[in-house]
Structure 1
Amino acid sequence: MTTTTDVRRSLPAVDALLAHPALQQAQSRHGKRLIRRAVRQTLDKERACLARDAGNSRLPTAAPETAMTIDALAEKSLARLSQLARPHGRAVFNLTGTVIHTNLGRSTLAETAIEAMTQAARHPMALEYDLESGGRGDRDRLVEELLCELTGAEAATVVNNNAGAVLLALGALGAGREAVISRGELIEIGGAFRMPDIMQAAGCRLHEVGATNRTHARDFEAAMNEATGLIVKAHTSNYAITGFTKSVPEPVLAEIAHDHDVPFMVDLGSGALTDLAAFGLPYEAQPRDAIAAGADVVTFSGDKLLGGPQAGIIVGKRELVANIKRHPLKRALRLDKLTLTALEATLRLYRDSDTPQREIPTLALLTRSEASIAETGERLLAATQALLDGMEVTLEPCMSQLGSGSLPVDRLPSRALVWRPLSENRRARAPLLKRLEGAFRQLPRPVIGRLRDGALHLDLRCLAGAEEEAAFIDQLAILKECFAREGG
């Protein structure tokens, strides 16, 4: 008669595995709680695998050497520990060719903004405390004066993002009434944010006028009635209508709105605080322009062309901004102290710095010269050629884009490292490229590129500075291992 035993019982107990020297050594860095969790998950996975392989929970008698050794289990536990300890919000190399990439966190912050956030995180601060009077203050005061100075507005307030700014402004100014807007400006941005939907959520009734490609002043005049609450103009920042087109200039819309005693609101979406054309970039509408044209309220983002933290900025007439700040949603959408201090530091660079295009990282990347990118490319080409068997690497011209709905048809000349499989078998190239792309994403600091035209393109515009370049090169030694693992 054959005796059976459950081989899973040959797996060590949790405490026995925790006593392994390698795991004991890891405790000084990670602590017992996380290591115990990694060990438990490793053993649970091994038990499940043994049961699955046998087809049931009872396995034939096995010699001890057939079970996984405690050294191997410790190694697997350390690998699991590494996964558990790795944060989800990891720094990456953005080599996609999109500078302001929504999925990669949009703008990176200036050093002064980072330092301001650090101080705000480390110490109590006068957030809603008036140091002069000793009474309660308004957190908007951290940035309101700066925003008014930079835009020419009478007052300002800030919320968590521009979608929130639009929602709040519409709700405060037009709830229960009609919001008149050109049919060609009923925008949709990422995440299914649609202007008609946000108007409905704000309690406004959409009144669209004109045609998709052409809207005239007379269309707005004909739409005005006793139910009109405001006129809205939305900057079409993430698409362009070309050809037989016409739109109504902001000064004309302001005049129509004011003749009928309703506010004129402009949603700029991106919104730049400086003349980008002065730095050799395409011109982008500024809040100051809209205010000068007669807009009563202007909304724009903090983390796009402005190059600051995520924020929705509202500037305009003092009375209207005060109404917006009294809306019940204002508190729900307000900024925290870290974001406010980062925004204040960024705005101070625009006001005080002689070279904001160098100190604000987003502007520095957008204005980076093609020659500088090419020099980086030549150095990286020497480090990557012949790195992986079966892969050819070349340095080629490419065009970067600004991203996040900013200047959608404009491109910036750049250089890319282009990886192509050498295989003559066309059907084998696509899997090789997917392996390569996956290997780059598995690096300690993942590298995010773009698969296009049978190759992996790594646009080097956002790989700027000796420190970043060295960090990229240091990881190349790991790429072979990741590439092999992706194939296994």
Structure 2
Amino acid sequence: MKERLLRSLPKVDILLKDKDLQNIKESVDYYTFLWCIKNVLGSFRENIKNSNDKDLEKLSDNLLASIKKSIIELIQKEKRKRLQKVFNGTGTIIHTNLGRSVFSKKIAKDISDILSSYTNLEYNIERGERGSRYENLEKLICKVAQCEGALVVNNNAGAVLLTLNEFSQGKNAIISRGELVEIGGSFRVPEIIKFSGAKLLEVGTTNRTHLEDYENAIDETSGVLLKVHTSNYKIKGFTKDVPLGDLVELGKKKNLLVIEDLGSGNLIEFTKYGVIQEPTIKKSLECGASLVMFSGDKLLGGCQAGIIVGKKHLIDRLKKNQFLRTIRVDKITIAILENIFRTYLDEKEAVKNIPTLRMITEDIKEVEKRVNKLSKLLNNKNISHSVIPTKATIGGGSMPEEDIESFGIEFKGDISPNRLEEYFRKNPVSIIGRIEKNRFFIDMKTIFDDDIEELSENIERVFLERGIK
């Protein structure tokens, strides 16, 4: 039987032309399609060689159909390895695993020419000579943040690294023990300080640090006073930290720079929109921080970048640091950030047109409209579900205590929530939902209105293909 089944295996060129595989063939390149066919045939060949007679009988019943099904499944698996669109139904607005802040369609349209054309990235059109890639963006950031100078690097860890390397190399960077933050991917502030060439000097305790702790630590080996905003966790109870303004006064007294790592980076007074306040970049600069560093792809609502703002003469020194070359940004990052900061020139426009800000500040009635729209579409498709109240989160290491009122679609069926979550996640267009209290649901806080019809079609596909009732 083994020999018969081995001879029955279809040839590669036959499967390449098979009508049942044509739809899936069009979704991938030729070489991926060919590789999947060869891989599946090889697996079936080895399986036949190593199986007993009983297993071979089962295999022989629908050999060709089984092969084609395996090819389709492997192609779908290979497609999932690529960077692709997913539906974020988790309710986490700045989702680190799902790309953090989302850009508006307007940004995609605005930078399309830059992506497909030559640009004046390092060319001054007015003077007809080489220019700086940072010049235009720096002016815009300074206008929005109301600062003297600005510099953009590839991420906020790079911004901290560069700043400490320039101003505290071989000297002590003095920081409260309660601010030794670990960010995503196990990157830790102490390690970044060490890598920069600065020396870590902890003061205070985990829960309480006083101004005199800093003052007693200052000597001729001191480089900078470093303050790190604990944006991804909160310490409650018997606590004390030193306000930035007090640290700045100490820095002036001891002739030391005070630099602050704000982490998320925020330009909006969120209390106006009924959301807990997060420290703002402008407030840190008003308090007198020499340099402030923050991320571009979190509360700012832009792309991955580390942005440094502050005193012009200090920014100019950073521009001359040789390490800058290794962490500089490209034309795409600059184009996106120019668009984002231009939008911030009018706060109302920023809140309306930057998706991250819009989701954080929008009225609960807007979420209710979206959930009702999806519910109606699902009712028309006879998909069992119910609308439930939920709590969305901001995410991205920002405002860890802030929950936002939201609505979700809970799915019912004859399978477990875990299995349902898996089926949704492994759909050709992944739908990433949430399991809570033994129920699987999609939180509509992070679903865009333009995606609702497409989402409903993909939900229907999951139910039909998986036979969920």
The yes-or-no answer on 1:313 pairing with 2:307 is: yes
TM-fit CA distance, 1:479:
1.8
1:461 equivalent in structure 2: 445
Alignment of 1:60-209 (within 5 A): 66=60, 73-74=67-68, 76-85=70-79, 88-209=82-203
The yes-or-no answer on 1:443 pairing with 2:427 is: yes
TM-fit CA distance, 1:83:
4.0
TM-fit CA distance, 1:326:
2.1
The yes-or-no answer on 1:474 pairing with 2:457 is: yes
Counterpart secondary structure, 1:99: strand
Question: Per-residue displacement from partner, 1:299-333 (whole Å, max 9, x unpaired)?
Answer: 00111111111111011111211222222221111
Counterpart secondary structure, 1:284: coil
2:39 equivalent in structure 1: 41
- CA–CA distance in structure 1, aligned partners of residues 13 and 283 of structure 2: 68
- CA–CA distance in structure 2, aligned partners of residues 471 and 185 of structure 1: 44
Question: Per-residue displacement from partner, 1:133-192 (whole Å, max 9, x unpaired)?
Answer: 222221112310111111122111111111111111111111100001111111111111
Contact 1:142 1:341 in 2 (8 A): no
- CA–CA distance in structure 1, aligned partners of residues 4 and 321 of structure 2: 66
User: CA 1:32 to 1:295, structure 2 compared with 1: closer, same or farther past 3 Å?
Assistant: closer
User: CA 1:354 to 1:455, structure 2 compared with 1: closer, same or farther past 3 Å?
Assistant: closer
Contact 2:377 2:453 in 1 (8 A): no
Match of 2:298 among 287, 298, 304: 304
TM-fit CA distance, 1:30:
4.8
Alignment of 1:215-234 (within 5 A): 215-234=209-228
The yes-or-no answer on 1:397 pairing with 2:389 is: yes
User: CA 1:7 to 1:133, structure 2 compared with 1: closer, same or farther past 3 Å?
Assistant: same
TM-score normalised by L of structure 1: 0.88
Matched to 2:96, the amino acid is: T
Match of 1:5 among 3, 6, 10: 3
Unaligned runs of 5+ in 2: none
User: CA 1:142 to 1:40, structure 2 compared with 1: closer, same or farther past 3 Å?
Assistant: farther
Matched to 1:418, the amino acid is: E
Matched to 1:417, the amino acid is: I
**Taking every aligned residue pair, what percent have the same amino acid on both sides?**
34
User: CA 1:5 to 1:371, structure 2 compared with 1: closer, same or farther past 3 Å?
Assistant: closer
Match of 1:262 among 234, 256, 262: 256
Contact 1:92 1:446 in 2 (8 A): yes
User: CA 1:54 to 1:456, structure 2 compared with 1: closer, same or farther past 3 Å?
Assistant: same
Match of 2:229 among 226, 232, 235: 235
Matched to 2:410, the amino acid is: V
Matched to 2:460, the amino acid is: A
Match of 2:344 among 336, 344, 350: 350
- CA–CA distance in structure 2, aligned partners of residues 404 and 321 of structure 1: 27
Counterpart secondary structure, 1:225: coil
TM-fit CA distance, 1:75:
5.4
Counterpart secondary structure, 2:174: strand
Matched to 1:335, the amino acid is: V
1:433 equivalent in structure 2: 417
Contact 2:2 2:48 in 1 (8 A): no
Contact 2:231 2:263 in 1 (8 A): yes
TM-fit CA distance, 1:457:
3.2
Q: Which of 371-380 and 337-346 deviates more?
A: 371-380
TM-fit CA distance, 1:34:
3.4
Question: Per-residue displacement from partner, 1:204-245 (whole Å, max 9, x unpaired)?
Answer: 111111122221111111111000000001011111122222
- CA–CA distance in structure 2, aligned partners of residues 42 and 193 of structure 1: 40
Match of 1:280 among 269, 274, 277: 274
Contact 2:155 2:296 in 1 (8 A): yes
- CA–CA distance in structure 2, aligned partners of residues 71 and 418 of structure 1: 35
Contact 1:397 1:415 in 2 (8 A): yes
Contact 2:80 2:428 in 1 (8 A): no
1:376 equivalent in structure 2: 370
TM-score normalised by L of structure 2: 0.91
User: CA 1:189 to 1:32, structure 2 compared with 1: closer, same or farther past 3 Å?
Assistant: closer
Number of corresponding residues: 467
Matched to 2:437, the amino acid is: D
1:411 equivalent in structure 2: 403
Question: Per-residue displacement from partner, 1:349-400 (whole Å, max 9, x unpaired)?
Answer: 00146421111111111112112222333343455579899xx743222221
Cα RMSD for the two superposed structures: 2.8
User: CA 1:25 to 1:234, structure 2 compared with 1: closer, same or farther past 3 Å?
Assistant: closer
TM-fit CA distance, 1:51:
1.9
